[in-house]
Amino acid sequence: MQALAFPAPFRLESITARATGWHDPEARLDLAFEREEFVLFGQPVALADAPDRHEMVEAFVRLREEETHSISPGVFLPILAHHGMLPLLDRWLVKRAIEWLASLRPAARPVVLVTVGEECLEDALFPPFVQGVLRTANVSPTRLTFQISHAAPAHTVGWGVGPAALKALGCSLAVTGVGRGQFGFDRILRLGPAYVKLDGSLVRALAVGGVGASKAPIVCRACRAQGIFVIAEDVESAEMLEGARESGAFFIQGAAVAVPRQTVPGRSPLDPIGM
């Protein structure tokens, strides 16, 4: 799980109290884990040439309080990071995503994209944890793809033990945020991902023109030449969808395809009824 940037510690407590009403955030989050107050959401990823055909799902975590609108979405993530609790949430996300996959018919199991933080990617015990959950649930590791930010430190992307160990299990990798800033394709190739996510800023530019509009096809061509599938993220309109398709993106994700929804055991986005 990728945490948002948060302010200096001396300001965080007062900002947290204003944003959430929590006066003891660590105790509140401990209670959330104890009471199972986190919820697994999924956002379908579709074929660019067939937006109604959902092939993958990106998994997210939400806190039940977000659903009542008593706190803003994602506000708890920097608080978790501040208290060193993100690895715990990452493991929760991976376990619940695999358990959801296990509830589906094998033929209806999509590829699930999950994002975990640097602590898990650098933790030698994380890949065995993933392997154990997959075996217990009898879910193929090919159904799980770990997303890593293109902006992540070099010692994490490509050189750390985590990504290589997860690939060795049979899981796939995806690099997110590609096209924002310097492309760095050599660095991407060293990681060996199955997927690359075209940054939303480039996707938005496809609808209005500009530098990003010319950069997107370059990224797509380079990836296609290496057998890497491109996912255009943050596709919010019909114009952006058409631009992503014309640029060479193979998959699309965003509100123009489907919004995130709470996952339901036994219900797959590959089924006609949807999630």
The string of DSSP codes covering the chain is -PPPP---HHHHHHHHHHHH--SSHHHHHHHHHHTT-EEEEEEEEEETTEEEEEEEEEEEEEEHHHHTTSS-TTTHHHHHHHTT-HHHHHHHHHHHHHHHHHTS-GGGPPEEEEE--HHHHT-TTHHHHHHHHHHHHT--GGGEEEEEETTS-TTTTTSSHHHHHHHHHT-EEEEEEETSS---HHHHHHH--SEEEEPHHHHHHHHH-SHHHHHHHHHHHHHHHTTPEEEE----SHHHHHHHHHHT-SEE-STTT---EE--TT--TTSTT--
Residues 6+ apart with CB under 8 A from 133: 94, 95, 98, 99
> Quick one: average pLDDT of 85-112?
94
Radius of gyration, alpha carbons of the chain: 19
Q: What is the pLDDT of residues 103-161, one digit of tens each?
A: 999 999 999 999 998 888 888 899 999 999 999 999 999 999 999 988 765 555 544 67
Q: What is the pLDDT of residues 235-256, one digit of tens each?
A: 999 999 999 999 999 999 999 9
- pLDDT beyond 60 at 71: no
What sign does the CA torsion over 260, 266, 269, 271 have? Answer: negative
Q: HSE of 156 in the Cβ direction (CA atoms, 13 Å)?
A: 18
- Which CATH number does 9-262 carry? 3.20.20.450
Higher pLDDT, 80 or 106: 106
pTM of the model: 0.84
- pLDDT beyond 80 at 201: yes
Distances (CA, A) of 15 to 38, 47, 80, 81: 22, 41, 14, 15
Distance (Å, rounded) from C-alpha 83 to C-alpha 68? 24
Distance (Å, rounded) from C-alpha 24 to C-alpha 10? 14
Query: Is the distance from CB of 98 to CB of 144 less than 8 angstroms?
Result: yes
Lowest mean pLDDT among 43-47, 116-120, 227-231: 116-120
